[in-house]
Amino acid sequence: MDYTIVLQALWIIIPAYVANASAVLVGGGIPIDFGRNWHDGKRMLGDGKTWRGLISGTFIGMTAGFGLVVAASYINSSEYHFLDLTNFEGFPLMIPIIFSICFGALLGDIIESFFKRRIGKNRGDDWVPFDQIDFILGVLFFSFIMSSILHISGFISYNWFIKHLFPWHIVVLLLVTPFVHLTANFVHKKIHGNAKK
């Protein structure tokens, strides 16, 4: 495995990282479950999953993704084209593809919270490794579905996911992400002085 695999994997996941981080930074307000409980008497999702986090996280992550599309057009016409970084199919197909990456990341996190509540863990409790990889699983699942829809409906002649995400990329993401996550948490706590968690 060579380093270009690592760069390609990180490139694709940047919009998801941004979406996730933005949800934390700008999230808050009305919870997605509107404060309702599930049949087991515990919260459906909890106060940590909010509409503002979901919507603004998706938008901010997508903006970062569009930045990568522009960057890819420069990189791919430079001496670094061998890195083979995706441009997410450019305009306009980048919109559904990058949407599926950002929304998928936040949806993965939401689904994780659902199961976390079912096993009795409270908001903010640790649940290793799912806290770390929940959004990667969401990205992989949701962007695969979106790529398949775009392929089957004839918008793209191949499956974007299968073309750009090999098993090695997925292994890299699952291994690297927990470290990025733990580092981000550490920085967050330093800045906010352990106030929140």
Return all residues near 107 (Cβ < 8 A) that are at least 6 apart. Answer: 138, 142
Minimum distance between the CB of residue 130 and ligand CTP, rounded to whole angstroms?
Answer: 9
Residue with tokens 């990889």: 133
Element (H, E) at 191: helix 167-192
Beta strands, E only, the chain? none
**60 is a contact residue toward ligand CTP (CB under 6 A):** no
**96 is a contact residue toward ligand CTP (CB under 6 A):** no
What is the x/- site pattern for Mg ion, positions 103-142, by CB under 5 A? ------x---------------------x-----------
Stretch that binds ligand CTP, among 22-30, 62-70, 94-102, 143-151 (CB under 6 A): 22-30
Minimum distance between the CB of residue 93 and ligand CTP, rounded to whole angstroms?
Answer: 26
- Tell me the CA distances in angstroms from 113 to 19, 79, 123, 157, 182, one per residue in order: 17, 44, 8, 36, 18
- The residues that touch ligand CTP, with contacts defined as CB under 6 A, are 23-24, 27-28, 46, 48-50, 53-54, 106, 109, 113, 116, 123-125
